[in-house]
Amino acid sequence: MKTFPSRICFAVYTLLLVTLTACSTRFGVPGSGGLSNSGSGTGYAGSLESSTIEAPTTVAELTAGNTAACAADGTLPAWCQHAFTGQRDSRSGVMTPEFDPPAGNVSDEDIHSYFSDDSGMRILANFMLGYCTKSGSTYCNNNVQTGYTADDSRTVAAQGADLMRRHIDGAIMSWDGDGTSEDNATKLFQSWADSNACSNGSCRLTYLIMYNTASLDYNVKSTGIGGTSGKSCSGLAGATYENCVIAHLRNDICYINAAHWGNDAYEKVNGRPILEFFLYDGVIPTTGPAPSWEDVWVHIGDWVNDLPHHCSSAPYNADHGVPLIVFENASGFTQPSSSGGFYWIKPEGTDIATDQLIDNISGASDGTLDNFLSSAVTYDRQLAFSGAFKGFNSIQATWGTGRIMDQQCGRTWIESLTESKKYYSTGAPYLQIATWNDYNEGTEIETGIDNCFTVSASAGGSSLHWNLDATDSAVTLETVSHIEIYDVPNGGNLILVGSQSAASSGTWSFSGLSPGKHMLYVRMVGKNSILNRISSGVSYDN
């Protein structure tokens, strides 16, 4: 993960109504419906509140792009400056050449439903906030171009609404300091959540900050508080570097305390805000006596234990509770001043023949999700963020190019998402999706995840016959939620007439149809964030 400064866009939303006023397509898509084979009602289950979102009335509405990602063609949403046509890896032997597909119609099935009813798991998606747009170039500020800018209120509104539609609880902001575009995007998200997802101090959508320690090389705004500094630490060494890092971190923590931790939408545990650190060790040793990173975290632990005193001037000295500091991977649990750890995806390397087949989920070796979770359960008094990821491909990135982990047609996503159930009876306390929109490293789920199924259907006798046709040997029905049958009777509106369990094939009886001409469609509804698919129309005269 690496971030660079940039900007975003704007769209207007009504409270909990995921309809963009500037967009020609609806965000709502049908849910499970729960209709019997012979039903004829609409059976629509909305993604937020079914009473506030209309069911689609045409096939075009049913299949339209419904994500915050920029469309590949046609009329662009208001927050997009140009189209996003997907990203491909043309190297020979790559199993998923199109690792970031164009934006599609994405399943909004409740992601919490994959865990027990009493889980209480908080699911948050990691955000990269450095995207911008630039004419005549593939990149903008070293980031691939997604079509939108990240610190524009229209993009933030689209992404906030998309998170809620997918039942994701919040965002984890990769953050680089006061005065950066990353902080501007974070404050825009805070403002949108306050207006659209919060009421009486309770918020449907929250956020927290992941401090990107690469930002220690940046010059950021200074709070002016004694013992702090916003100056860059780049080029320094030894004790001089450690002292600079401590002053820089103190400066940024006092600012975060003032600008973020007092907000209702900030993620807290028992009144204490959570702060993640994404570490870039180096320059000084990781452990041992000063100068070392171990000594840095001892000093920072002392600082955060009394922010009202240390951040000595308003507004930085507000008392918002002692922050809970969470570090990366299993070693994070043992860092000085640690309150927990979060898992982060770790691709094996760049060898297409072997590395793309290593998903880093199972196994006890260092870097696997299992290794992290087996450590997490031994630190049961600390926060544990399990991880969920679709795969990894950095062929388009301007750093670490070519690292790869195959998506396995959505299998990697579903297995990593639910892996913590092997260690926690109700799932881990927290789950971090890595990532919502890192297009540089091919981990984004914003556009949707292809599960390599298409849908075919035909009429035979008195029944509709359908098949899920695999386009890859890695396909699994574990990525499929259910099957929906739609009818367009006598050229009228689209009606959901049946819902069936996930299967590779099936039939549906025409017996419940009204007299007249019908056009029927079979729709595969994926698990959360999987791309939905639909068959061609099948005509039938009853």
Q: What is the pLDDT of residue 14?
A: 33
Q: What is the pLDDT of residue 103?
A: 97
| Residue 485 in this model has a pLDDT that exceeds 60 | yes
Q: What is the pLDDT of residue 427?
A: 83
Place 40 in a pLDDT band, splitting at 50, 70 and 90. Answer: very low
- Amino acid found at 86: G
Q: Mean pLDDT across the chain, nearest whole number?
A: 90
**10 Å Cβ neighbour count for 289?**
8
The rounded distance, in Å, linking the Cα atoms of 358 and 347 is 8
Q: Are 7 and 147 in contact (CB under 8 A)?
A: no
| Residue 279 in this model has a pLDDT that exceeds 90 | no
Q: What is the pLDDT of residue 54?
A: 58
Place 530 in a pLDDT band, splitting at 50, 70 and 90. Answer: very high
- Give the containing element (helix H, strand E) for 483: strand 480-489
pLDDT in tens, 197-215: 999 999 999 999 999 999 9
Q: What is the rounded average pLDDT of the residues 443-472?
A: 97
Q: Would you call the peptide bond into 315 cis, given omega within 30 degrees of 0 as the criterion?
A: yes
Q: What is the pLDDT of residue 526?
A: 98
Q: What is the rounded average pLDDT of the residues 400-428?
A: 96
Q: What is the rounded average pLDDT of the residues 424-430?
A: 90
Identify the CA nearest to 475 among candidates 521, 392, 407, 531. 407
- Amino acid found at 249: L
Q: What percentage of the chain reaches a pLDDT higher than 90? A: 86
pLDDT in tens, 85-118: 999 999 999 999 999 999 999 999 999 999 998 8
Q: What percentage of the chain reaches a pLDDT higher than 70? A: 90
Q: What is the pLDDT of residue 426?
A: 83
pLDDT in tens, 298-321: 999 999 999 999 999 999 999 999
Place 506 in a pLDDT band, splitting at 50, 70 and 90. Answer: very high
pLDDT in tens, 110-146: 999 999 988 899 999 999 999 999 998 999 999 999 9
Give the global pTM. Answer: 0.89
The rounded distance, in Å, linking the Cα atoms of 437 and 380 is 31
Q: Which residues contact 492 (CB under 8 A, 6 or more apart)?
A: none
The rounded distance, in Å, linking the Cα atoms of 282 and 264 is 36
Q: Are 87 and 391 in contact (CB under 8 A)?
A: no
Q: Which residues contact 195 (CB under 8 A, 6 or more apart)?
A: 15
Q: What is the rounded average pLDDT of the residues 253-276?
A: 98
Q: What is the rounded average pLDDT of the residues 416-439?
A: 95
Q: Are 352 and 90 in contact (CB under 8 A)?
A: no
Record the tokens describing residue 359, joined without a space.
């998903």
Place 332 in a pLDDT band, splitting at 50, 70 and 90. Answer: very high
Q: What is the rounded average pLDDT of the residues 349-375?
A: 95
